Amino acid sequence: MERTLPDENTAEETMNKILLGLLAGAVLGAIDGATAWFTPAVRSELVGIIFGSTIKGIIAGVAAGIFARKVNSVPLGMLFGLGVGFVLAFLVAYLQHGYYLEIILPGSIVGALVGWATQRYGASAASPATAR
């Protein structure tokens, strides 16, 4: 009887959906905030914008991850992420009294991308019986 070890290269490792959403949201949020550099009027506030966009991305990512645990549908996950990103970005734009398109468009795209990533690449949480 021959024993074979599992091939490490074929074992696909996936990340928890909420953690994936948090990390993807943070990275994409920071990139979203960095695009403010292209608006010369706000360059002096770039650090605060990047920080705020990162927090906004984290919130959208965690929300998309939680949604992805409950609903297993890539289109619905993207739509949910788009909606969360839109709402968060709209709130920021409303508080700024301007730059609506410059804030809402990339914020919505970040939400949709995080929704897609959590549905496509995230793993469901392990049940207590299999976690032992």
At 93, the amino acid letter reads A
Handedness of CA 108, 114, 117, 120 (dihedral sign): negative
All structural domains of the chain with their residue ranges: 33-123
Please measure the distance between the N-terminal and C-terminal CA atoms of the chain and give it in whole angstroms: 28
In Å, what is the CA distance from 7 to each residue of 3, 14, 16, 38, 53? 12, 16, 22, 47, 40
Per-position pLDDT tens, the chain of length 132: 566 555 444 445 678 999 999 999 999 999 999 999 998 888 999 999 999 999 999 999 999 999 999 999 999 999 999 999 999 999 999 998 888 999 999 999 999 999 999 999 988 766 555 555
